[in-house]
Protein backbone atom coordinates (compact mmCIF):
# COMPACT_ATOMS: atom_id res chain seq x y z
CA UNK A 1 0.00 0.00 0.00
CA UNK A 2 1.32 3.41 -0.93
CA UNK A 3 -0.22 6.35 0.96
CA UNK A 4 0.98 9.91 0.48
CA UNK A 5 0.35 13.00 2.64
CA UNK A 6 0.15 16.55 1.37
CA UNK A 7 -0.63 20.01 2.71
CA UNK A 8 0.70 23.48 3.30
CA UNK A 9 3.43 24.24 5.86
CA UNK A 10 2.21 23.86 9.44
CA UNK A 11 -0.70 21.59 8.52
CA UNK A 12 0.39 18.92 11.02
CA UNK A 13 1.26 16.12 8.56
CA UNK A 14 4.40 14.95 10.31
CA UNK A 15 2.76 14.46 13.72
CA UNK A 16 -0.16 12.56 12.21
CA UNK A 17 2.06 10.36 10.05
CA UNK A 18 3.97 9.35 13.21
CA UNK A 19 0.73 8.35 14.97
CA UNK A 20 -0.59 6.59 11.91
CA UNK A 21 2.59 4.61 11.48
CA UNK A 22 2.30 3.38 15.09
CA UNK A 23 -1.33 2.47 14.41
CA UNK A 24 -0.46 0.52 11.23
CA UNK A 25 2.28 -1.26 13.21
CA UNK A 26 -0.12 -2.24 16.02
CA UNK A 27 -2.40 -3.68 13.36
CA UNK A 28 0.32 -5.92 12.00
CA UNK A 29 1.37 -3.93 8.94
CA UNK A 30 5.06 -3.73 8.11
CA UNK A 31 5.25 0.02 7.60
CA UNK A 32 7.87 2.40 6.27
CA UNK A 33 7.63 6.14 6.95
CA UNK A 34 9.44 8.30 4.46
CA UNK A 35 9.44 11.81 3.07
CA UNK A 36 10.34 14.07 0.18
CA UNK A 37 12.64 15.79 -0.13
CA UNK A 38 15.48 14.23 1.85
CA UNK A 39 14.96 10.63 2.89
CA UNK A 40 18.14 9.19 1.33
CA UNK A 41 21.77 10.22 1.97
CA UNK A 42 21.86 11.94 -1.45
CA UNK A 43 18.37 13.37 -0.87
CA UNK A 44 19.48 14.95 2.43
CA UNK A 45 22.06 16.99 0.52
CA UNK A 46 19.45 17.96 -2.08
CA UNK A 47 17.01 18.92 0.72
CA UNK A 48 19.59 21.17 2.35
CA UNK A 49 20.04 23.05 -0.94
CA UNK A 50 16.29 23.28 -1.61
CA UNK A 51 15.24 24.57 1.80
CA UNK A 52 18.18 26.85 2.61
CA UNK A 53 16.77 30.42 2.89
CA UNK A 54 20.13 31.71 1.59
CA UNK A 55 19.25 30.15 -1.77
CA UNK A 56 16.55 32.73 -2.50
CA UNK A 57 18.11 33.22 -5.95
CA UNK A 58 17.29 29.65 -7.07
CA UNK A 59 15.56 29.56 -10.45
CA UNK A 60 12.18 27.85 -10.73
CA UNK A 61 13.62 25.28 -13.14
CA UNK A 62 16.56 24.48 -10.87
CA UNK A 63 14.06 23.92 -8.05
CA UNK A 64 11.88 21.70 -10.25
CA UNK A 65 14.77 19.47 -11.30
CA UNK A 66 16.16 19.18 -7.78
CA UNK A 67 12.79 17.88 -6.53
CA UNK A 68 12.77 15.47 -9.49
CA UNK A 69 16.32 14.31 -8.68
CA UNK A 70 15.46 13.74 -5.03
CA UNK A 71 12.35 11.77 -6.05
CA UNK A 72 14.26 9.58 -8.53
CA UNK A 73 16.74 8.58 -5.82
CA UNK A 74 13.99 8.13 -3.23
CA UNK A 75 12.00 5.81 -5.51
CA UNK A 76 15.11 3.84 -6.39
CA UNK A 77 16.43 3.51 -2.85
CA UNK A 78 13.36 3.48 -0.60
CA UNK A 79 9.87 3.50 -2.11
CA UNK A 80 10.07 0.83 -4.82
CA UNK A 81 12.12 -1.69 -2.77
CA UNK A 82 9.68 -1.27 0.16
CA UNK A 83 6.57 -1.69 -2.02
CA UNK A 84 8.13 -4.68 -3.77
CA UNK A 85 8.77 -6.25 -0.36
CA UNK A 86 5.04 -5.91 0.43
CA UNK A 87 5.46 -3.07 2.94
CA UNK A 88 3.04 -0.22 3.54
CA UNK A 89 4.73 3.04 2.60
CA UNK A 90 3.58 6.27 4.27
CA UNK A 91 5.19 9.10 2.35
CA UNK A 92 5.24 12.74 3.52
CA UNK A 93 4.81 14.58 0.16
CA UNK A 94 5.13 13.19 -3.34
CA UNK A 95 4.38 14.27 -6.94
CA UNK A 96 1.34 16.38 -5.97
CA UNK A 97 3.69 18.73 -4.10
CA UNK A 98 5.57 19.40 -7.34
CA UNK A 99 2.33 19.86 -9.29
CA UNK A 100 1.16 22.40 -6.74
CA UNK A 101 4.29 24.23 -5.46
CA UNK A 102 6.25 24.35 -8.73
CA UNK A 103 3.15 24.33 -10.97
CA UNK A 104 0.18 26.15 -9.41
CA UNK A 105 2.27 28.42 -7.15
CA UNK A 106 5.45 29.08 -9.17
CA UNK A 107 3.70 28.90 -12.55
CA UNK A 108 5.75 26.21 -14.32
CA UNK A 109 3.79 24.71 -17.23
CA UNK A 110 1.71 21.64 -16.38
CA UNK A 111 2.99 19.80 -19.49
CA UNK A 112 6.62 20.02 -18.36
CA UNK A 113 5.76 18.83 -14.85
CA UNK A 114 3.76 15.90 -16.24
CA UNK A 115 6.65 14.98 -18.53
CA UNK A 116 9.06 14.91 -15.59
CA UNK A 117 6.62 12.85 -13.52
CA UNK A 118 6.25 10.36 -16.37
CA UNK A 119 10.05 9.95 -16.55
CA UNK A 120 10.65 9.80 -12.79
CA UNK A 121 7.67 7.91 -11.37
CA UNK A 122 6.41 6.20 -14.55
CA UNK A 123 2.99 4.71 -13.75
CA UNK A 124 3.30 4.54 -9.94
CA UNK A 125 0.29 6.20 -8.28
CA UNK A 126 -0.51 6.44 -4.57
CA UNK A 127 -3.40 4.21 -3.47
CA UNK A 128 -4.57 7.14 -1.38
CA UNK A 129 -3.46 10.74 -0.84
CA UNK A 130 -4.41 12.41 2.43
CA UNK A 131 -4.66 16.18 1.99
CA UNK A 132 -4.39 18.24 5.19
CA UNK A 133 -6.44 21.30 4.32
CA UNK A 134 -5.75 24.45 6.36
CA UNK A 135 -5.95 28.23 6.04
CA UNK A 136 -2.34 29.32 5.29
CA UNK A 137 -2.55 32.10 7.90
CA UNK A 138 -2.99 29.42 10.57
CA UNK A 139 -0.44 27.09 8.95
CA UNK A 140 2.26 29.75 8.77
CA UNK A 141 1.61 30.81 12.37
CA UNK A 142 2.06 27.19 13.45
CA UNK A 143 5.20 26.82 11.32
CA UNK A 144 6.78 29.95 12.80
CA UNK A 145 5.87 28.95 16.34
CA UNK A 146 7.54 25.54 15.72
CA UNK A 147 10.62 27.50 14.67
CA UNK A 148 10.56 29.60 17.84
CA UNK A 149 10.24 26.46 19.97
CA UNK A 150 13.21 24.93 18.15
CA UNK A 151 11.07 22.10 16.70
CA UNK A 152 12.28 23.15 13.23
CA UNK A 153 15.57 24.72 12.26
CA UNK A 154 15.90 28.10 10.56
CA UNK A 155 18.11 26.62 7.84
CA UNK A 156 15.03 24.93 6.30
CA UNK A 157 12.79 27.95 5.87
CA UNK A 158 13.06 28.96 2.19
CA UNK A 159 9.36 28.21 1.61
CA UNK A 160 8.15 29.76 4.87
CA UNK A 161 9.72 33.01 3.62
CA UNK A 162 7.32 33.08 0.65
CA UNK A 163 4.41 35.56 0.78
CA UNK A 164 1.01 34.52 2.09
CA UNK A 165 -0.36 34.64 -1.50
CA UNK A 166 2.12 31.93 -2.49
CA UNK A 167 0.75 29.64 0.22
CA UNK A 168 -2.81 30.54 -0.79
CA UNK A 169 -2.03 29.40 -4.36
CA UNK A 170 -0.60 26.18 -2.91
CA UNK A 171 -3.79 25.53 -0.94
CA UNK A 172 -6.01 26.31 -3.93
CA UNK A 173 -3.86 24.07 -6.13
CA UNK A 174 -4.18 21.14 -3.74
CA UNK A 175 -7.96 21.56 -3.46
CA UNK A 176 -8.27 21.68 -7.27
CA UNK A 177 -6.28 18.42 -7.54
CA UNK A 178 -8.49 16.82 -4.88
CA UNK A 179 -11.64 17.83 -6.80
CA UNK A 180 -10.21 16.43 -10.03
CA UNK A 181 -9.23 13.09 -8.46
CA UNK A 182 -11.89 12.50 -5.84
CA UNK A 183 -11.28 8.74 -5.66
CA UNK A 184 -7.57 9.19 -4.82
CA UNK A 185 -7.80 12.11 -2.36
CA UNK A 186 -9.01 12.09 1.22
CA UNK A 187 -9.33 15.73 2.32
CA UNK A 188 -9.17 16.27 6.09
CA UNK A 189 -9.84 19.47 8.01
CA UNK A 190 -6.44 20.14 9.60
CA UNK A 191 -7.83 22.95 11.81
CA UNK A 192 -9.28 20.39 14.26
CA UNK A 193 -7.55 19.04 17.35
CA UNK A 194 -4.85 16.38 16.88
CA UNK A 195 -7.35 13.79 18.10
CA UNK A 196 -10.10 14.86 15.70
CA UNK A 197 -7.72 14.93 12.73
CA UNK A 198 -6.34 11.49 13.60
CA UNK A 199 -9.81 9.96 13.85
CA UNK A 200 -10.83 11.53 10.55
CA UNK A 201 -7.75 10.08 8.84
CA UNK A 202 -8.13 6.59 10.29
CA UNK A 203 -11.81 6.31 9.43
CA UNK A 204 -11.13 7.74 5.95
CA UNK A 205 -8.32 5.23 5.35
CA UNK A 206 -10.49 2.35 6.57
CA UNK A 207 -13.38 3.36 4.29
CA UNK A 208 -11.32 4.12 1.23
CA UNK A 209 -8.90 1.21 1.37
CA UNK A 210 -11.33 -1.36 2.77
CA UNK A 211 -9.14 -2.16 5.78
CA UNK A 212 -9.90 -2.06 9.50
CA UNK A 213 -7.27 -0.22 11.52
CA UNK A 214 -8.00 -0.44 15.24
CA UNK A 215 -5.96 0.95 18.07
CA UNK A 216 -5.22 3.67 20.57
CA UNK A 217 -6.97 6.88 19.70
CA UNK A 218 -9.17 5.43 16.97
CA UNK A 219 -12.93 5.11 17.29
CA UNK A 220 -12.66 1.42 16.52
CA UNK A 221 -10.55 0.78 19.65
Q: How far apart are CA 193 and CA 202, in angstroms?
A: 14
CB of 126 to ligand TMP, least distance (A): 13
Burial of 69 (0-12, 13-18, 19+ CB in 10 A): middle
* 2, 5, 24, 67: which one binds ligand TMP (CB under 6 A): 67
Residue 97 as a binder of ligand TMP (CB under 6 A): the answer is yes
| Structural element, H or E, at residue 66 | helix 60-74
Residue 98 as a binder of ligand TMP (CB under 6 A): the answer is yes
Residue 24 as a binder of ligand TMP (CB under 6 A): the answer is no
Burial of 157 (0-12, 13-18, 19+ CB in 10 A): middle
| Structural element, H or E, at residue 218 | none
CB of 117 to ligand TMP, least distance (A): 10
Residue number, 23 or 74, with CB nearest to ligand TMP: 74
Residue 103 as a binder of ligand TMP (CB under 6 A): the answer is no
Point out which residues bind ligand TMP (CB under 6 A). 9, 35-37, 67, 93, 97-98, 101-102, 159
Amino acid sequence: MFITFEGIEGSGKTTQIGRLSACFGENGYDTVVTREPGDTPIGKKIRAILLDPDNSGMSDLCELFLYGADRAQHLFEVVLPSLNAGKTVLCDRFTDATTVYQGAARGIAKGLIETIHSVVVKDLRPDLTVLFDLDPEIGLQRAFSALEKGARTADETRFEQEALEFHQRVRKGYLALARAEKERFLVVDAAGTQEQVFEEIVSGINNRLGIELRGKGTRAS
